[in-house]
Amino acid sequence: MVGILALGTIYAFTRPPNSAPLFRIGSAYNPDTVSVQQRSNFQGNESIGIFSGIGRLRIPLADSSTLILSIAFPYPLNDRAFAEELAARTGYFRTIATNYFASLSAESLATLNEDIARTELLRQYNTSLRLGRIETLHFHDLIIIE
């Protein structure tokens, strides 16, 4: 086991920084391809940014596996107050996502309905927001390490 971990660590350090993941679970998210439907959720011709301040989460699962997950979502760039509120709530967003996924096992995550997970996280995120609403969430790098 120690040898496998050592080889994995060496491999991780020798990979180019912009290399793609070895495997993914679920659909990939590309922040450059926010759909027209998502863009139409905003008023007028606002500039749309992608909030990725939650960062990459490493969540220990119920069966001692680890989930690596990034969450991002679009928001109007010209709404400075809402952007500041999002930045202030980053810790809360991380805690909500960690608590949601930590009770699951790797097996249950393999059959996870991502739409249900997104809807639940979105509902919990929006309950804490006062200056705006998050319309959609995107999971990026949904990887399980056993």
Instruction: Write out pLDDT tens, residues 90-106.
Output: 999 999 999 999 988 88
Domain 21-145 has CATH 1.10.10.10: no
In whole angstroms, what is the distance from residue 52 CA to residue 73 CA? 7
Q: What is the pLDDT of residue 35?
A: 47
Q: What is the pLDDT of residue 108?
A: 86
Name the band, by pLDDT with cuts 50, 70 and 90, for residue 5: confident
Instruction: Write out pLDDT tens, residues 55-91.
Output: 999 999 988 889 999 999 999 989 999 999 999 999 9
Q: Name all contacts of 82-85 with Cβ < 8 Å and 24+ positions apart.
A: 82/129, 82/131, 82/132, 83/49, 83/51, 85/129, 85/130, 85/131, 85/132
Using CA atoms, how far residue 113 sits from 16, 53, 109, 119, in Å, is 32, 24, 8, 10
In whole angstroms, what is the distance from residue 102 CA to residue 19 CA? 28
Name the most confidently modeled range: 104-108, 111-115, 135-139, 141-145: 135-139
Q: What is the pLDDT of residue 44?
A: 52
Q: Which amino acid is residue 97, in one-letter code?
A: A
